[in-house]
Amino acid sequence: MTTIADRPQKITTDRIVDNRVYTDPAVLDAEVERIFERVWLFACHESEIPQSGDFVTMDLAGTPVIVNRDDQGRIHAFCNTCRHRGSLVVDEERGHCSAFRCPYHFWLYSLEGNLVGIPGEEAYDGTGFGKEDFPLVSLPCESILGLVFVNLDDNPEPLANWIGADLIDVLRRPLGLAEYEVFAVDADPLTVNWKVFAENARDGYHVPFVHPFFRKASPPGSYRLFANGHAVQHLAMDPAGIEPDLWERLRTHPLPGLDVGEGYIVNLFPDLAITVRSNVVSVDFQRIQGPAAVSMENRTLGVVGDSAEQRADRRLSQEVWFANPVRLEDYPIFARQQRGVVSRKVRHSIIARGPDMTTGTRGDDNRLRHFWVEWRELMGTSSNSLEPA
């Protein structure tokens, strides 16, 4: 059996990945503790909870979470766990309520998370129990440009610091120039490790081989690497590689601040991809369900007040530039990669292509290596493995 010590000796450790990181439950357990319970995780878009009393629920790396608006319009995040017997408080994925009532024993929580009602409360007299001591457990929750993030750490750095001012400026065009709303939601179950998509979203090397439409219709622009493992890849659209009727729909209704055909993909560590393509914003992320199981989720954004025609064209753009190539072309690659890395005879993958640069054009592996720099930092290891280098 090979080990990390059996890696190719002419390649430095940072350019090799131990394939067990895609399959080993112990690796995922460590990632949850050291990464997902420390960094800001995308939860929803503000437009998904537009009114006081609106809520959405989700699972963030094994922690059930509620995100809601209170009576003052403030956004909160809570553990979706009753303080009495540990039941889920809310089963629905989204909805509206004036308070949260646990279905097990009817404990009642306000929209601010306070425990405000208990059937037969007098039975607790003399026990030292007080409602004020048992609110829903609150989680840090912040929003930037309509994107709502939750942190499972009690004292995280501010969201704006974690994303960084320069990358926020990139996202501000177009997200800061209009009011946006989610108008389409999709989810696909995949039997792959979460890092398969996180890496693929930064991998320009595969594009000419896996995505023939992109090869002729989407010339790459520059990329930039940012602190905390974040990155942006700028993209263009070439009408010479697009059928005229399709081009007319893809070029219509450009978002505020964007030129026709302008676009980019922002990668926020660990696995959020925000794709902007001229007239649409596609927000894509994963909900982790196991070492080789995720729910791949999408939120497609349009401008508040769009016409039906504008929405149809924006949805078409999302399908052309993200949904169809990912589902039809990337998903089979994801499955092949996940099936291949289980081999006990092939322990390492190579991410050695190209020099380490913070700017450049699509094609080399340095954007992947940038991801692994942050992974190693948070995991407290010197190699792309849980084993010592």
Q: Which helix (H) or strand (E) holds 38?
A: none
Question: Per residue in 18-35, pLDDT tens?
Answer: 999 999 999 999 999 999
> Tell me: the pLDDT tens digits for 305-362?
999 999 999 999 999 999 999 999 999 999 999 999 999 999 999 999 998 888 888 7
- Cβ atoms of 22 and 362 closer than 8 Å: no
Ramachandran category for residue 261: left, alpha or beta (phi over 0 → left; psi -120 to 50 → alpha): left
List the Cα angle 70/73/75 in 5-degree steps: 65
Q: How do residues 104-162 score in pLDDT, each as one tens digit?
A: 999 999 999 999 999 999 999 999 999 999 999 999 999 999 999 999 999 999 999 99
Model pLDDT for residues 76-114, shown as the tens digit of each residue:
999 999 999 999 999 999 999 999 999 999 999 999 999
Alpha-carbon distance of 272 to 284, in angstroms, equals 6
Give the domains, in start order, of the chain with CATH numbers.
Answer: 40-144 (2.102.10.10), 177-379 (3.90.380.10)
